Amino acid sequence: MQPEDDPVGGLTFFGLFQSRAAINDLASTNPFLDGQVVGRLGGTNGVVVDPTVVAAYTEERVNGFFTYAPPLANGKASLTAAFEIDFAFGDRSYGVGGNVGGGFGGDQVNLQTRRLHADFFPSKGMHSAHVIVGLQFLSDSVADPTRSTPDQLMRSGGRMAFFASEAAGVAVYGKIADDWGTRVRYRAGLFTLAENGLSLSDDVLLAVADVEGRPAQATAVGAHLWYLQDRSGGVGGTLGLGPTSALYELQGGAHIDLYDGLPPPDGAYIDADLVWAGVDGGFNAALDRGPYGVHAAIIGNLGRLYAPIVHDDDVAGLFLDAEARARYAPGDGSVARAEVLVTTPAGANDLYYGGVVTGNAYGVAGALMPTHGTLLLFPDARAINRLVSVVADASAAGRGVTALTTSVGYDVIPARLNVLGRAATAMTSDGVAWGTELGGSISGRPLPLVDLGVHGAVLLPGPAAELTATPWAGYVALDWLVL
C-alpha cells in the first residue's frame, strides 16, 4: 500500500511481520505438502482430523514492500518490489525451497518474489490514472491494490472469492472525481496466468474490466466482466491446471471427470473458455460514514470446457454473497456482522457443470475467500502456511454451499483491547450439512500497529465434511505493520 499523494522521489518501505503459535488436532499425511498445506480439510491435500494427535508449531512470515520513485520522474513513475520469507520454527536449514527455513543454523534459500512492477501515473487530480506493468496483486475488485486496505478489497467486487493472488500483466486503475469526491472508479487489465511453451498457443490469459459508480457519498454500485482463455490443455505444474485439474480438487474445487474415470486418450487435452459477469453494491461498506453498512455481490460464471474425442461441457454457475454490519458501541472493533453465501452445485448432468470456477484452478491459494472470519469451516484469513478448511473454495467441492457466518465484537478498551465471538454454519445446496463452527478471540494492541491475539474454534462436522472426528484449533498471533 502506498499513500495517496506520492513523494516526488525517494525510497519508501512497507512491511508486515506475522507470527503464530498454533495447536490443533489436524495431521498432515503427505510429507511433500508439509511446508505449505492448502485446500480442503479431509480432501486430497492429505490433511485429516486425528483425535490422537495434538499438533503444536510456530510459524513466521515477513513481507517487505520496497518502492523507489526516481526524482527525475517527478512523481510520474516508480518501481515496486516485494518479497516474502515464511517458515515454521525448526523446520529446515541449509537447503533450497519456499515456505521453510526455520531450522537450526538457518541458511535456507527461500526468498519468494511477491511483486515486481513498474508504476506510471499519466494523470492525477480529478481524473487520475495508475498503470501497473509486471508482477502485481490480482484481485476481483475495482480497487487499486496498491492504495487499498485488505478491508476495502474484501468489501468490493467478488470479495476475494474468485481471484486474490499475484499475476503478471498490465492493469490500469483510474478514477473520476469532482468537488464532492470520487464519482467513478474503473479497472482494465490483461494477465498471463500460465505461459507454457513460449512459441506455442498453450497459455492461460485473463482479461478483466470493472467499473464502480458512486451516486451518493456512502453508496457504491459496480459492474464486473472477466474473461479467461485456457489453452493449456490442463498441463502445468505437478498437479495440472484448470477446472478439471488435481490442483483445483486439492484446493476444494469440484472433481470434474470428463472421461468417466478412464485415462484420457493420447492427444486429448482439456481447454476452457470462462466468463464471469456480475454486479455488486454497498452502502457505507467500510463503516466510515455511519454505524451501519451493507455489501452484496452476485456473479454468474459461464463458459465451456473442451474435451476432445468425448464431449464438451457447458459451465453455468452462480455466486451470491451479502453482508451486513453494525457498530453498536465505541471502538472500531465493536461491530456485529452477518454474512450469507450461496453458490450453485455442479449438478448430475454429464454435459453440464453448474458450479462456479475460481482462481484456485490456476494457482495455489488463488482465491482466498477470507471474509467469513472462521478458522475451520471457511479459510482463515490469518493463516500463514497452513490454509485448510472444510469449504475451501466457493464451488464447495462441486456440491454448492448455503452458509451463514456471524460475529459480535466489543472493544473493552477502544483501539486497545477487543473480544469477539463467532458462529458459522454451512450446508450443501441439497441440504446436507458441512458443519457448524463456534469460536472466539481476544486481541489487543500493546504498541501502535502491533496486534497480539488469542484465537480458537471448534467445528461440529456434518456428513458432507466426511470427517471422522471433531476438529479444533487455537493459536496466538502477533502481527506488526511496519511503516
Per-residue pLDDT band for 287 (boundaries 50, 70, 90) equals very high
pLDDT over 70 percentage in the chain: 96
Model confidence at 4: pLDDT above 90: no
Model confidence at 99: pLDDT above 90: no
Global confidence as pTM = 0.93
* Confidence at residue 115, expressed as pLDDT on a 0 to 100 scale: 96
For the residues 148-175, what does the mean pLDDT come to? Answer: 95
pLDDT averaged over the chain?
92
Q: Cα-Cα-Cα-Cα dihedral of 86, 91, 95, 98, to 10°? A: -30
417-427 and 313-327 beta bridge pairing: unpaired
Q: What burial letters (b/e) apply to 226-253, b meaning 16+ CB within 10 Å? A: bbbbbbbbbebeeebbbbbbbbbbbbbb
Model confidence at 31: pLDDT above 70: no
For the residues 92-119, what does the mean pLDDT come to? Answer: 92
Q: Poorest-confidence range of 7-16, 108-117, 229-238, 292-301?
A: 7-16
Q: What residues form DSSP beta bridges with 407?
A: 337, 422
Model confidence at 95: pLDDT above 80: yes
> Of 308 and 470, which is predicted with more confidence?
470
CB 467 within 8 A of CB 458: no
What is d(CA 141, CA 129) in angstroms, rounded to the nearest whole number? 16
What is d(CA 444, CA 146) in angstroms, rounded to the nearest whole number? 27
The tens digit of pLDDT for each residue in 305-314 reads 998 777 789 9
CB 240 within 8 A of CB 247: yes
Residue where the block lists cell 454451499? 401
Per-residue pLDDT band for 3 (boundaries 50, 70, 90) equals very low
Tally Cβ neighbours within 10 Å of residue 14: 18
Beta strands, E only, 354-395: 386-389
At 384, the amino acid letter reads I
* Confidence at residue 165, expressed as pLDDT on a 0 to 100 scale: 96
For the residues 436-446, what does the mean pLDDT come to? Answer: 97
CB 346 within 8 A of CB 394: no
For the residues 286-303, what does the mean pLDDT come to? Answer: 96
CATH, domain range 10-482 = 2.40.160.100
* Confidence at residue 261, expressed as pLDDT on a 0 to 100 scale: 64
> Of 70 and 259, which is predicted with more confidence?
70
CB 91 within 8 A of CB 43: no
What is d(CA 309, CA 173) in angstroms, rounded to the nearest whole number? 43
* Confidence at residue 2, expressed as pLDDT on a 0 to 100 scale: 44
Tally Cβ neighbours within 10 Å of residue 118: 13
For the residues 296-310, what does the mean pLDDT come to? Answer: 91
Tally Cβ neighbours within 10 Å of residue 214: 19
Model confidence at 297: pLDDT above 60: yes
* Confidence at residue 257, expressed as pLDDT on a 0 to 100 scale: 83
The tens digit of pLDDT for each residue in 74-88 reads 999 999 999 999 999
Model confidence at 226: pLDDT above 90: yes
267 CA to centre of own chain:
34
* Confidence at residue 308, expressed as pLDDT on a 0 to 100 scale: 77
* Confidence at residue 263, expressed as pLDDT on a 0 to 100 scale: 64
Q: What residue segments make up the domains of the chain, in order of their start?
A: 10-482
For the chain, how big is the Rg over CA atoms in Å? 22
Max Cα separation, the chain?
A: 66
The tens digit of pLDDT for each residue in 372-390 reads 999 999 999 999 999 999 9
What is d(CA 219, CA 389) in angstroms, rounded to the nearest whole number? 33
Per-residue pLDDT band for 1 (boundaries 50, 70, 90) equals very low
Beta strands, E only, 307-400: 313-327, 335-343, 352-353, 386-389
Helices (H), 107-170: 150-154
What is d(CA 437, CA 459) in angstroms, rounded to the nearest whole number? 4
For the residues 335-348, what does the mean pLDDT come to? Answer: 96
What is d(CA 307, CA 19) in angstroms, rounded to the nearest whole number? 45
Would the CA dihedral through 123, 12, 114, 394 be positive or negative?
negative
Per-residue pLDDT band for 350 (boundaries 50, 70, 90) equals confident
For the residues 220-228, what does the mean pLDDT come to? Answer: 98
The tens digit of pLDDT for each residue in 400-411 reads 999 999 999 999
Phi, psi (deg, nearest 5) at residue 152: -70, -35
Phi, psi (deg, nearest 5) at residue 386: -130, 90
